[in-house]
């Protein structure tokens, strides 16, 4: 609920959970698109290579077949007897050799001796039996030329020449095949190996393989860094070639993909193996794809980062809102709203005995005036800390408003000790090397089982506190049922007061005042009584409440008018009316013009204002919010006299009253009660003495006994009001005195 220094912790920044899956999802999508596109491209490459390979194979096949046919034609015409000698054969066919890319003809006998059409003599040609084994045209694998450094292939057929069986050979340079096989694909190179069915490379259109009798499978295995599954693809090719099957596959090595197709060319079980790498054929596309993938990842990252930053700024805004809505900037504690919400949670979640205490500082306004705003803010902060520290961990301290704090906490020991400790610590607060002694008032409420409504609880602690508010000697008040009853009573009174006024339930009683000298009537004080259903409610039950809720303004005016009415009736009946004192609550004084309405009423009943005395309590004269002088002057100007009521109970002094336009002071009953008849040093004697000096009249209130009466008479109290003469009585009873 709170941290070490009681201030409200802010929520941590959170990264929303959706960010992660969305990020992963979009990366996966990019990878998916990347792979899908790559697959399409690869399929395309496959198709292209296959096509290319097929074209090469067809061309090679065609060109070899043409060459075979040429040799067949030669052999045919020789065997039919058109050309019988070596010389005639050479003579007849030498000119056509170029058309078929042959470099020369040779005729060799079974001993390997012979001659070429361009005059080279051949002796003991190796492996000549190989040529005699075949009946039709035979095409040899490449072998070194006897005449040049080139490799050659030999087309041969047995023929009768010079009356013996010889071999007619047409010789072609192997390089001639290369030109057919070499092809370009896209921007890069693709090429073909021509192999026999053992895998021996006959022709390498790339030109990479320079040695003879290289096995292509072994070459592939050595050239590429292959894993097991790729090795098995190569092995499968070897088997397929053995079994006259065509096929295709690809392998990936060193971050490149190599596409292979193998196709038999239909001659001598030879195979054309076409090879192309993605690097050469689809470099740009693959590069583009890679750029796509990386940029989409980067873009994703940027978008996610933007989302997070927007989110954080959003959270920041929320924090600010939270701060302004829930946190008191002066103390860093929660405010009323915060207390409401978190107090409720506290009630719900914390088990055990719990209390809510509201704490406020007596006379904080005065402190504010003396020390200034900034200083008092520090004071508030420091009080907040004291409350939190004394109560300890796991309490919720808030400043609800101005100097009012509330704290909710768990506690199962003596609550008095705890509250006293808070008060003790608050009585020595050091702010900027100034020691301040705070007086606190606390309202305490012990949480009951079914308490869930914080506002109700707060109103209970306020109620408890207001019970002792202003009483310096009382530190706290713990809520009890009587308080509740009082409140209920107050509520009842509040709900009835308006109708009471309309129904004339408020009656006026007059308490007569007498001259001590001759016990003649000196006047009367009008005192209100509330008769409700034949029960009399005494004024101390409702006047304080009406002062709080301002209804007193209406009531006083009503009483004033009733008194004027009574006075008018007495004037008529008895030819005169005695002077009447009427109580005026200080609540009127917020509006200095209130008196104008009173004057209007006196005019209505034709009462002389000088025949009315207005009683203003002493406490009104020390209230700083009231410009009492202005009001009193106005009252005086209009002809009323002014009495200071309950003199001696407030904080004013006689010298203070000296500056005010007052006529009478009413000495409060407590001074009469305190009279020690054996002494002449009673306070009342001093008051009487000084008021005489100030030329003020005095009325002594609450005189009940003969003894008191005599004493006061002796010290010069000339007007007396008290039960000794009469209690407040009804109008009719009062008329007996007239």
Q: Does 538 bind ligand C2E (CB under 6 A)?
A: yes
Count other Cβ atoms within 10 Å, centred on residue 325. Answer: 11
In total, the chain counts a number of residues equal to 738
The pairing of beta strand 404-410 with beta strand 354-361: antiparallel
Nearer to ligand C2E, 424 or 623 (CB): 623
For residue 465, which phi and psi values (nearest 5 degrees)? Answer: -65, -40
Find out whether 72 and 157 touch, Cβ atoms under 8 Å: yes
The C-alpha atoms of residue 670 and residue 685 are separated, in whole angstroms, by: 13
Least spacing, CB of residue 402 vs ligand C2E, in Å: 28
# of chain residues touching Ca ion (CB under 5 A): 5
Least spacing, CB of residue 667 vs Ca ion, in Å: 9
Q: Is 170 left (phi over 0), alpha (psi -120 to 50) or beta?
A: beta
* C-alpha dist (Å) from residue 673 to 704, 706, 717, 722: 9, 13, 15, 12
The C-alpha atoms of residue 43 and residue 55 are separated, in whole angstroms, by: 18
3-state secondary structure of 140: coil
Nearer to Ca ion, 199 or 722 (CB): 722
Let me know if 681 is exposed, middle or buried by CB neighbors in 10 A (0-12, 13-18, 19+): exposed
Instruction: Please report the sign of the dihedral spanned by the C-alpha atoms of residue 659, residue 660, residue 665, residue 666.
Output: negative
Rule CB under 6 A: which of 559-618 touch ligand C2E? 559, 583, 585
Find out whether 584 and 556 touch, Cβ atoms under 8 Å: yes
Based on its alpha-carbon atoms, the radius of gyration of the chain, rounded to whole angstroms, reads 62
528 binds, among ligand C2E, Ca ion, none (CB under 5 to 8 A by kind): ligand C2E
Find out whether 174 and 142 touch, Cβ atoms under 8 Å: yes
| Distance from chain centroid for Cα 137 | 90
Q: Does 618 bind Ca ion (CB under 5 A)?
A: no
* CA nearest to 44, candidates 236, 272, 257: 257
- List the beta bridge partners of residue 446: 355
Least spacing, CB of residue 698 vs Ca ion, in Å: 13
Nearer to ligand C2E, 147 or 626 (CB): 626
Q: Does 648 bind ligand C2E (CB under 6 A)?
A: no
Rule CB under 5 A: which of 575-614 touch Ca ion? 583
Nearer to ligand C2E, 386 or 584 (CB): 584
Q: Does 397 bind ligand C2E (CB under 6 A)?
A: no
Nearer to ligand C2E, 335 or 562 (CB): 562
- List the beta bridge partners of residue 248: 261
3-state secondary structure of 627: coil
Stretch near ligand C2E under the rule CB under 6 A, chosen from 76-84, 133-141, 220-228, 721-729: 721-729
Nearer to ligand C2E, 445 or 551 (CB): 551
Least spacing, CB of residue 464 vs ligand C2E, in Å: 25
For residue 34, which phi and psi values (nearest 5 degrees)? Answer: -60, -50
511 binds, among ligand C2E, Ca ion, none (CB under 5 to 8 A by kind): ligand C2E
Nearer to ligand C2E, 559 or 631 (CB): 559
The C-alpha atoms of residue 733 and residue 717 are separated, in whole angstroms, by: 26
Strands (E) in 178-301, as ranges, are: 183-185, 188-195, 201-204, 247-253, 256-264, 271-277
Least spacing, CB of residue 615 vs ligand C2E, in Å: 6
Q: Does 635 bind ligand C2E (CB under 6 A)?
A: no
- Rule CB under 6 A: choose which of 229, 495, 540, 593 binds ligand C2E: 540
- Rule CB under 5 A: choose which of 509, 646, 654, 685 binds Ca ion: 646
390 binds, among Ca ion, ligand C2E, none (CB under 5 to 8 A by kind): none
The C-alpha atoms of residue 390 and residue 399 are separated, in whole angstroms, by: 16
278 binds, among ligand C2E, Ca ion, none (CB under 5 to 8 A by kind): none
Q: Does 524 bind ligand C2E (CB under 6 A)?
A: no
Find out whether 265 and 194 touch, Cβ atoms under 8 Å: yes
Rule CB under 6 A: which of 674-703 touch ligand C2E? 701-703
539 binds, among ligand C2E, Ca ion, none (CB under 5 to 8 A by kind): ligand C2E
- Rule CB under 6 A: choose which of 527, 545, 553, 642 binds ligand C2E: 527
- List the beta bridge partners of residue 699: 666, 719
# of chain residues touching ligand C2E (CB under 6 A): 22
Q: Does 528 bind ligand C2E (CB under 6 A)?
A: yes
141 binds, among Ca ion, ligand C2E, none (CB under 5 to 8 A by kind): none
The pairing of beta strand 580-583 with beta strand 521-532: parallel
Enclosing H/E stretch for 160:
strand 151-161
- Rule CB under 6 A: choose which of 443, 523, 578, 728 binds ligand C2E: 728
Nearer to Ca ion, 516 or 585 (CB): 585
Rule CB under 6 A: which of 450-479 touch ligand C2E? none
Nearer to ligand C2E, 159 or 664 (CB): 664
Q: Does 645 bind Ca ion (CB under 5 A)?
A: yes
Binding pattern for the stretch 82-111 against Ca ion, x by CB under 5 A and - elsewhere:
------------------------------
Least spacing, CB of residue 572 vs ligand C2E, in Å: 24
Enclosing H/E stretch for 89:
helix 86-93
Q: Does 552 bind ligand C2E (CB under 6 A)?
A: yes
192: Cα within 13 Å, side-chain hemisphere = 31
199 binds, among ligand C2E, Ca ion, none (CB under 5 to 8 A by kind): none
User: Which residues are near Ca ion by CB under 5 A?
Assistant: 583, 615, 645-646, 701
User: Which residues are near ligand C2E by CB under 6 A?
Assistant: 511, 527-528, 538-540, 543, 552, 556, 559, 583, 585, 645-646, 701-704, 721-723, 728
């Amino acid at each position: 609920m709170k941290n070490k220094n009681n201030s409200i912790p802010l929520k941590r920044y959170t990264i929303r959970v959706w960010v992660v899956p969305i990020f992963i999802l979009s990366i996966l999508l990019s990878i998916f698109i990347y792979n899908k596109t790559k697959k399409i491209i690869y399929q395309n490459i496959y198709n292209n290579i296959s096509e290319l390979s097929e074209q090469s194979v067809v061309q090679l096949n065609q060109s070899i077949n043409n060459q075979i046919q040429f040799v067949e034609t030669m052999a045919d015409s020789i065997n039919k007897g058109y050309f019988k000698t070596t010389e005639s054969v050479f003579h007849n066919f030498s000119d056509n050799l170029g058309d078929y890319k042959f470099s020369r003809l040779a005729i060799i006998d079974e001993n390997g001796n012979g001659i070429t059409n361009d005059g080279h003599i051949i002796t003991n040609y190796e492996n000549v039996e190989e040529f005699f084994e075949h009946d039709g045209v035979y095409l040899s694998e490449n072998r070194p030329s006897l005449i040049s450094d080139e490799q050659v292939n030999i087309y041969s057929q047995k023929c009768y020449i010079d009356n013996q069986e010889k071999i007619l050979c047409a010789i072609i340079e192997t390089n001639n095949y290369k030109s057919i096989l070499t092809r370009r694909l896209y921007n890069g190179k693709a090429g073909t190996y021509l192999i026999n069915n053992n895998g021996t490379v006959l022709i390498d259109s790339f030109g990479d393989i320079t040695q003879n009798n290289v096995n292509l499978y072994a070459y592939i295995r050595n050239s590429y860094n292959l894993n097991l599954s790729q090795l098995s693809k190569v092995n499968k090719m070897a088997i397929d070639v053995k079994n006259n099957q065509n096929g295709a596959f690809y392998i990936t090595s060193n971050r490149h993909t190599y596409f292979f197709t193998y196709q038999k060319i239909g001659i001598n079980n030879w195979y054309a193996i076409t090879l192309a790498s993605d690097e050469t054929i689809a470099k740009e596309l693959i590069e583009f794809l890679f750029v796509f993938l990386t940029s989409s990842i980067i873009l994703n990252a940027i978008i996610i980062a933007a989302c997070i930053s927007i989110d954080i700024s959003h959270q920041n805004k929320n924090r600010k809102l939270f701060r302004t809505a829930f946190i008191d900037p002066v103390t860093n504690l929660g405010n009323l709203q915060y207390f409401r919400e978190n107090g409720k949670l506290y009630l719900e979640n914390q088990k055990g005995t719990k209390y809510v205490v509201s704490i406020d500082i007596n006379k904080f306004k005065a402190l504010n005036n003396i020390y200034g705003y900034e200083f008092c803010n520090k004071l508030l902060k420091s009080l907040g800390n004291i409350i939190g520290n004394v109560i300890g961990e796991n309490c919720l301290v808030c400043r609800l408003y101005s100097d009012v704090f509330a704290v909710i906490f768990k506690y199962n020991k003596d609550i008095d000790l705890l509250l006293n400790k808070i008060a003790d610590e608050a009585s020595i607060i050091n702010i900027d090397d100034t020691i301040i002694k705070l007086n606190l008032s606390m309202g305490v409420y012990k949480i009951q089982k079914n308490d869930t409504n914080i506002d109700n609880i707060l109103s209970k602690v306020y109620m408890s506190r207001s019970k002792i508010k202003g009483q310096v000697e009382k530190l706290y008040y713990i809520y009890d049922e009587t308080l509740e009853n009082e409140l209920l009573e107050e509520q009842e009174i509040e709900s009835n007061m308006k109708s009471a006024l309309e129904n004339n339930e408020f009656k006026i009683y007059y308490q007569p005042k007498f001259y001590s000298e001759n016990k003649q009537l000196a006047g009367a004080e009008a005192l209100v009584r509330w008769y409700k259903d034949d029960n009399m409610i005494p004024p101390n039950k409702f006047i304080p409440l009406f002062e709080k809720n301002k209804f007193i303004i209406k009531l006083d005016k009503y009483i004033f008018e009733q008194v004027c009415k009574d006075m008018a009736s007495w004037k008529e009946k008895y030819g005169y009316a005695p002077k009447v004192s009427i109580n005026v609550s200080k609540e009127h004084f917020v509006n200095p013009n209130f008196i104008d309405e009173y004057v209007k009423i006196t005019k209505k009943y034709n009462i002389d204002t000088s025949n009315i005395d207005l009683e203003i309590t002493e406490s009104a004269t020390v209230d700083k919010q009231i410009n009492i002088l202005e009001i009193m002057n106005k009252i005086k100007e209009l002809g009323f006299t002014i009495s200071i009521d309950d003199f001696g109970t407030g904080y004013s002094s006689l010298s203070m009253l000296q500056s005010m336009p007052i006529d009478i002071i009413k000495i409060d009953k407590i001074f009469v009660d305190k009279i020690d008849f054996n002494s002449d040093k009673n306070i009342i004697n001093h008051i009487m003495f000084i008021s005489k000096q100030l030329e003020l009249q005095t009325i002594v209130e609450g005189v009940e006994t003969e003894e008191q009466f005599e004493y006061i008479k002796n010290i010069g109290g000339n007007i007396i009001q008290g039960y000794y003469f009469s209690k407040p009585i009804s109008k009719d009873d009062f008329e007996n005195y007239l």
